[in-house]
Structure 1
Amino acid sequence: MKVRTVEHVADLRRRPGSQRPVRLTVPAEALGPLGTSAAVVPPEGEVDLDAVGEATGVDVVVTGTLRFPWEGDCRRCLQPVSGTVEAEVREVFEPTPVEAETWPLDGDTVDLGPMLREVVLLTLPLVPLCSEDCSGPDPERFPTTVEGEGGADEGDDEAPPDPRWAALDELRFD
């Protein structure tokens, strides 16, 4: 899906110090797959940018707020969890961008798409929680079990030694 994320900034660049509102709503699927191992932006979600573009000499600075929905699984109980991220944005667009610091200003246009994608990926929750007091899985419903044979006897507090470490038992330091 191709969505227009290019803003024309010729009017701003003619008058340094001038400002103009930048409002943009982009379907999440237009920015490509947006997710980490723990959280994703649903494809039907929308990324909203409410910002101001300001000319600062040859550069254009975009300052504002980015909002988008996310969903994932709670890191403790693994139940589905979702929410909305609201991130502050302050990005500089310049004719000769510095990699990983500023964005390209191509003539009198800026493409906000790559910047939106990067900010979304950097602000997604890395370890989602359904609530701060989540105690994890219910031990009655999901008891802890040990797989395999030769486990410890009922009364033992220690697990049997790993046979791969048996050679270390014979080591003696005199």
Structure 2
Amino acid sequence: MEKRNLKANNFDKDNEIKKIQEDYLQEIKNDSGIIDSLIQPTEEPVNLELLAKEKNLQEALRLKNETKIKQGDRINYFMIDLDERLREISFKFPATKLIIELSEYGISSDGRLFLDLTKSVDLLIKNNLFINKFDIDEFYQDQIEGFGGFLIGLLRNPRKFIQDISER
């Protein structure tokens, strides 16, 4: 009788260990902003570019419904990393004082206006505004440029950003 109970306990322990491992892996993915692009395996590959655009559109519509973006609101942006995974970049909307620091512009040697995106990202990291881990070196240049455009458009004038979304 005891041997049967022991086997049942071991079976339960194995299942518990497996469940804890799965939960831990999911937590790591969540902390890194990794999104499983395939819920069910299919023969057809998923176009991550289209999936990222769709999720960014959904986020834009969510922000439109907010009608006002204020300090501490969660903002999400979706990009493809170097490992070809869809990642969610989440940050809290900063205070106006920090937005002024983020919006510093410079002029290049050929007279073009530019924004130092790495400084903006560093300020967001320094102020603990990223909700999940974000490392600019884990993404392709075109993905970073898209994020930079989104970030600057949003931070420079949130009200106009929402109006632009409403006009789509």
With the shorter chain as reference, the TM-score category is under 0.3
Asked which structure has the greater CA Rg, the reply is 1
Larger fraction in strand? 1
Please give the TM-score of this superposition, normalised by the length of structure 2: 0.19
